[in-house]
């Protein structure tokens, strides 16, 4: 195999770093996974970034039957959490490639979700955002304002709304809800007021709070009206994000793929609410993502080289 015909995609996140190697025909030759890519400016962040990328790429090349030392990629695309600006020079020095692009993990996730073409992706993980891209490469967004000012429909927001509902019950100005006992058990507290104050401390970072979001779905499935209302609102909010991003770039009657991404959509009530709300938006073909973010980064590498092959698994 000619090493000049290899392409590299990297999804560098705060939980893991994933690499995928493909050839010029779009065949996926190898995939690798390593630890998280830490922010470069924090402590030993640069060393961890370099180590995670090197380990993930080495694993992908090994699966492809190629040695790191003999490899020069035709193009490499890195989708990195925490922004690309402080990582481009580091990655250019680390990876031998004719062309290197460092961008956000959101952009490569979008490329993967819609298969590299025009479309919309709405992400509902810890936070939430909708991104859109048209055939000319123009991009638009809606949401993504962070947990203080936005992130409606994200996991942290679901738990925030659950705490509010439980506080209203505890203080006597809201209806009873199963969410109160669920939160007390999860946080090992005696009152919801204690839960609220615990969630303000360093012991409960946003990611840990957000991890309690499935409690809302469990309560809703048990017949809790407050929980069901939270999930219904979350789905509608995420649909509004998707529609707003879509309408910035596409005419009303053009059919556009809209992909839903992120752990919140594993909640069936949220997904159903999202689907109902999207059905009233003209020109939307709603479905799951076509490809994972690492494959979106590989598509970015192909685009960087002026290619647009269909991705396929190497038999």
Looking at the structure, tell me whether residues 183 and 157 fall in a common domain: yes
Per mean pLDDT, which range of 10-14, 40-44, 223-227 is the poorest?
Answer: 40-44
pLDDT tens per residue across span 253-282: 899 999 999 899 999 999 999 999 999 998
Beta strand extents in 67-220 (DSSP E only) = 75-80, 100-104, 119-124, 128-133, 139-143
Examine the domain organization and report whether 175 and 275 are in the same domain. Answer: yes
Do 63 and 150 have their domain in common?
Answer: no
Is residue 166 situated within a structural domain?
Answer: yes
Residue 111 domain-assigned (yes or no): no
**pLDDT band at residue 313, thresholds of 50, 70 and 90?**
low
Q: Are 172 and 258 in a shared domain?
A: yes
What is the pLDDT at residue 89?
86
Q: State the residue for tokens 């990611």.
A: 207
* Domain shared by 90 and 138, yes or no: no
Domain for residue 201, yes or no? Answer: yes
pLDDT level of residue 116 (50, 70, 90 thresholds): confident
Domain total in the chain: 2
My answer on whether 8 and 86 are in the same domain is yes
Residue numbers of the domain that contains 202 = 116-289
| 110, part of any domain | no
Judge if 67 and 127 occupy the same domain: no
What's the pLDDT tens digit per position in 208-264? 999 999 999 999 999 999 999 999 999 999 999 999 999 999 998 899 999 999 899
Give the CATH number of the domain where residue 125 resides: 3.30.420.40
Contact 125, 155 (CB under 8 A): yes
φ/ψ of 273, rounded to 5, equals: -65, -45
pLDDT of residue 228: 98
Q: Pairing relation of β-strands 75-80 and 100-104?
A: parallel
Residue 3: pLDDT over 80: no
In DSSP terms, which residues pair with 103 in a beta bridge? 79
Q: What is the pLDDT of residue 315?
A: 44
Both 175 and 72 in a single domain?
no
Q: How confident is the model at residue 1 (pLDDT cuts 50, 70, 90)?
A: very low
Question: CB neighbours (10 Å) of residue 78?
Answer: 31
Q: Is 109 among the domain residues?
A: no
Q: 42 and 58: one domain? A: yes
Domain identity same for 261 and 120: yes
The answer to whether the pTM exceeds 0.85 is no
Pair type for strands 17-22 and 27-34: antiparallel
Residue-level pLDDT at 295? 95
Residue 231 belongs to a domain: yes
Compute the mean pLDDT over every residue in the chain, rounded to the nearest whole number. Answer: 91
Over range 162-178, report the average pLDDT. Answer: 97
Q: For residues 149 and 91, state if they share a domain.
A: no
Does 126 lie in the same domain as 231?
Answer: yes
Q: Is residue 19 part of a domain?
A: yes
Which bin fits 146, alpha (ψ -120 to 50), beta or left (φ > 0)?
left
């Amino acid at each position: 195999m000619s090493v000049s015909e290899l392409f590299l995609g990297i999804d560098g996140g705060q939980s893991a770093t994933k690499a995928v190697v493909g050839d010029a025909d779009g065949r996926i030759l190898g995939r690798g996974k390593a630890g998280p890519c830490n922010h470069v400016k924090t402590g030993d962040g640069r060393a961890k970034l370099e180590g995670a990328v090197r380990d993930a790429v080495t694993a992908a090349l090994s699966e492809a039957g190629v040695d790191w030392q003999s490899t020069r990629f035709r193009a490499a695309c890195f989708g990195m959490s925490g922004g690309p600006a402080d990582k481009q020079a580091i990655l250019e020095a680390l990876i031998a490639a004719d062309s290197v692009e460092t961008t956000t993990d959101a952009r490569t996730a979008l490329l993967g979700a819609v298969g590299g073409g025009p479309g919309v992706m709405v992400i509902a993980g810890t936070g939430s955002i909708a991104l859109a891209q048209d055939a000319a490469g123009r991009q638009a967004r809606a949401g993504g304002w962070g947990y203080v000012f936005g992130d409606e429909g994200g996991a942290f927001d679901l738990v925030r709304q659950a705490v509010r509902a439980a506080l209203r019950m505890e203080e006597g100005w809201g209806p009873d809800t199963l969410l109160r006992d669920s939160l007390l058990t999860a946080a090992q507290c005696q009152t919801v007021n204690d839960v609220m104050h615990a969630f303000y401390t360093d012991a409960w970072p946003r990611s840990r709070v957000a991890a309690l979001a499935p409690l809302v779905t469990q309560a809703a499935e048990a017949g809790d009206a407050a929980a069901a209302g939270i999930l219904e609102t979350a789905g509608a909010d995420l649909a509004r994000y998707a529609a707003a991003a879509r309408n910035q770039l596409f005419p009303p009657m053009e059919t556009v793929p809209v992909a839903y991404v992120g752990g919140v959509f594993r909640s069936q009530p949220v997904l159903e609410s999202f689907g109902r709300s999207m059905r009233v938006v003209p020109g939307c073909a709603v479905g799951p993502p076509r490809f994972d973010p690492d494959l979106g980064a590989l598509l970015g590498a192909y685009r960087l080289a002026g290619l647009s092959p269909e991705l396929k698994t190497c038999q």
